Amino acid sequence: MGVVVAATHLQLGEPVAIKFLLPEALRHRDVVQRFLREARAAARLKGEHIARVLDVEQQPDGSPFIVMEFLDGHDLGRLLEERASLPPGDAVDYLLQVCDALAEAHVHGIVHRDIKPANIFLARRPHGVHAVKIVDFGISKVASHIEDVVTRSRATMGTPAYMAPEQMRSARDVDPRADIWAAGVVLFECLAGYRPFDAETFPALCLQVTTNEPAPLPIDVARGLRDIVFRCLEKNPLGRFPDMASLAAALAPYARHPIEAAMIVDRTRAMRTQADSRNAHARVTLPASECTQRERQVTTLRENALRVPHTMSRRSRSAVAAAASAVVIAAAVSMWLHYRDDGPPPVVPAATPPTSGPTGATVRSTPTPTPTPAPALVDQASPPASSSPKPARTRAPHIVKARATRRSADEARPVAQETAPTPADMPQRTTQETSGVVPQPAPAAEEAKVKRAQRNRGEPLSPEDVCGSPQCE
């Protein structure tokens, strides 16, 4: 399709390489477009293992040409023709540099689709070591500009001996794993001196690639290295290495120069991270009206998402408050039921007033009555603490003996536990009775009352009238 010639830059005086299209290729528009696409794809890549594109120009007749950096050396295909196979360390070193170049291309969405020894250029360095340079991006596929890919439907693009099975079926559906297959074929050829699949015709080659297993590698190749090669040659793309960074990490232990291998592994991993970040933030360009509608939807969703935690918080707080209220109400109801069933603790009355007797003024025969102690509270569930006799009270002389006889009988009989009277049966008590303090009449007032009664009626009061007051019991 093209030819490369050495030249000298007139202004800079530096050697350059110029790539022209052959005259017969100029008649095919798709070939011209692929040629220009190669220039654009290579110009985006700045890595040291990719031949740099310096300029693109047109001749007076309109035919384009590409100005590239001048590379002093030869391609890998020529080296294999001279030596047949390479030492494993050298082959791995070359493939690691290929991984470095393709990792950068894949980050930019470019799939080379034509990796082969003729496109792997070994450029001489000043100290004599060869540096790999990837050339010829003429049939590369730029994933971010699918409309620029000029490929006929179901057409095959690339060199058949290095094409992946999916690339043989359709060149439009390939991804970076097609380049991983091609790199595996190149490594196989460097180690064995022959290709894993070989046939005289293209249909026979396609049949072998899609159905047969690859040829075996020489027995002197390390088992781990053989596993790497055969993983690259998995017919299912999912069985291959997922990216160039993974392939480089697997090859690094078999490199002749481990320091450079480690640097390549680090660079490819960094580029993979960059690609992952770019894919995560990729956006699809939409019309202005549709973009506005989508932005409104996203804003609404974002606002709703922000409201959800607050709504849930309020519900949570309400649920907690309701639960706490239920606990308090249950405790209150339980206490009310308990005291309703048990009733208030009974109070033993200090004395029982007589049910019969004439009504009259209550007078004590002695001027200084003995104060009555506070009534004891008796719990319904427990018996009285003691059955000690009630304290003696001062009574009228003519009833002391009878009262003493009845009190002796009461003291001899133990106090039995009685059922507390219900609130309806209990007499109403004043605040003073509840507190246990029984008011005592003043002695002077009692004497005055007795004297007035005797003067008015001219007769003494009966004993029943004297003991009619609750204080005499």
Ordered DSSP codes for 289-346: HHHHHHHHHHHHHHHHHHHHHHHHHHHHHHHHHHHHHHHHHHHHHHHHHHHHHH-SPP
**Helix, strand or coil for residue 373?**
coil
- Residue 411 covered by a domain: no
Quick one: 59 and 119 in the same domain? no
In this structure, what token pair is assigned to residue 376?
């004891």
Asked, for residue 451, whether it belongs to a domain, the answer is: yes
User: Which among 22, 44, 70 is the end of a domain?
Assistant: 70
The answer to whether position 174 is within a domain reads yes
Task: Classify 369 in phi/psi space as left (phi over 0), alpha (psi -120 to 50) or beta.
Answer: beta
Q: Tell me, what's the pLDDT at 5?
A: 87
Q: DSSP secondary structure string, 192-224?
A: HSS-SS--SSHHHHHHHHHHSPPPPPPTTS-HH
User: What is the Cα 162 distance to its own chain's centre?
Assistant: 45
Residue 181: which of 149, 159, 199 has the closest Cα? Answer: 159
What pLDDT shows up at residue 155?
A: 41
What is the CATH classification number for the domain harbouring 30? 3.30.200.20
Angstrom distance (rounded) from CA 387 to CA 378: 12
The DSSP code sequence of 65-78 is EEEEE---EEEHHH
pLDDT in tens, the chain (473 residues): 678 888 998 888 889 988 888 877 777 888 888 788 777 877 888 888 988 888 888 888 878 888 888 988 999 999 999 998 999 999 999 999 999 999 999 988 888 888 999 999 999 887 767 899 998 775 444 444 333 333 333 344 568 899 999 998 877 778 999 999 999 999 999 999 999 999 889 999 999 999 999 999 999 999 999 999 999 999 999 999 999 999 999 999 999 999 999 999 999 999 988 777 766 655 444 344 444 444 444 344 344 433 434 444 445 445 545 665 565 466 555 655 554 544 444 444 444 444 444 444 343 444 444 444 444 444 444 444 444 444 445 444 444 444 544 554 444 454 444 444 454 445 455 444 444 444 555 556 666 676 676 666 665 555 555 454 444 44
Give residue 133's pLDDT: 93
Residues 110 and 215 in one domain: yes
Are 241 and 362 in a shared domain? no
Question: Can you give the residue range of the structural domain that contains 49?
Answer: 1-70
Paired with 65 in beta bridges are 20, 57
CA distance 410 to 389: 8
The neighbour count for residue 421, using CB atoms within 10 Å, is 13
Of 138, 1, 133, whose CA–CA distance to 72 is shortest?
A: 133
pLDDT value of position 416 = 44
Helix orientation angle between 244-251 and 223-232, rounded to the nearest 10 degrees: 170
Cβ-based burial of 96 (10 A; exposed 0-12, middle 13-18, buried ≥19): buried
CA distance 113 to 324: 71
Pairing of strands 53-58, 64-69: antiparallel
What's the one-letter identity of residue 371?
P
Q: Are 104 and 231 members of one domain?
A: yes
Q: Mapping DSSP to helix (H, G, I), strand (E, B) and coil, where does residue 184 land?
A: helix
Out of 261, 276, 291, a domain closes at: 276
Separation of alpha carbons 467 and 391, rounded Å: 17
* End-to-end C-alpha distance for the chain, whole angstroms: 140
Cα(117)–Cα(122) distance, integer angstroms: 10
* Alpha-carbon span 390 to 106, nearest angstrom: 111
- Show the CA angle centred on residue 462, arms to residues 459 and 466, nearest 5°: 120
User: Which tokens belong to 286?
Assistant: 């939409």
Q: Which of 359, 357, 362 is nearest to 450 (CA)?
A: 362
As a whole number of angstroms, the distance between CA 98 and CA 218 comes to: 23
User: Which pLDDT score is estimated for 138?
Assistant: 54
**12 and 27 both lie in a single domain:** yes
Asked if 189 contacts 171 with a C-beta cutoff of 8 angstroms, the reply is: no
The total number of structural domains in the chain stands at 3
Same domain, 8 and 28: yes
Q: Tell me the two tokens of residue 76.
A: 């890998």
| pLDDT at residue 205 in the model | 93
Last residue of a domain, one of 276, 297, 316: 276
Interatomic CA distance for residues 164 and 16, integer angstroms: 34
Among the listed residues 115, 99, 116, 117, the one whose alpha carbon sits nearest the alpha carbon of residue 49? 99
* Nearest alpha-carbon partner for 104 in 170, 14, 43: 43
41 and 13 in a single domain? The answer is yes
| Rounded-to-integer distance, Cα 30 and Cα 155, Å | 13
In this structure, is residue 316 part of a structural domain?
no
Asked whether residue 138 falls in the same domain as residue 110, the answer is yes
Largest CA distance in the chain: 168
Does residue 167 form part of some domain? yes
Give the Cβ contact number of residue 377 at 10 Å: 10
Asked whether residue 395 is assigned to any structural domain, the reply reads: no
From CA 250, how far away is CA 384, in angstroms rounded? Answer: 95
Alpha-carbon distances, residue 380 vs 341, 348, 384 (angstroms): 12, 11, 9
User: 181, 232 in Cβ contact below 8 A?
Assistant: yes
Q: Does residue 359 come out as left (phi exceeding 0), alpha (psi in the -120 to 50 range) or beta?
A: beta
Q: Please tell me the pTM assigned to this model.
A: 0.56
Do 90 and 22 lie in one domain? The reply is: no
Beta bridge partners of 58: 64
CATH number of the domain within which 179 lies: 1.10.510.10
Written as six digits, the tokens of 184 are 């595996």
pLDDT at 35: 80
99 and 29 housed in the same domain: no
- Tokens describing residue 91: 């082959």
Known catalytic residues? 114
Which tokens in the block code for residue 301?
């969703």
Q: Are residues 66 and 170 in the same domain?
A: no
User: What's the confidence (pLDDT) of residue 150?
Assistant: 34
Are 219 and 162 part of one and the same domain?
yes
Asked if the structure places residue 49 within a domain, the reply is yes
pLDDT confidence of residue 329: 62
Residue 256 lies in a domain: yes
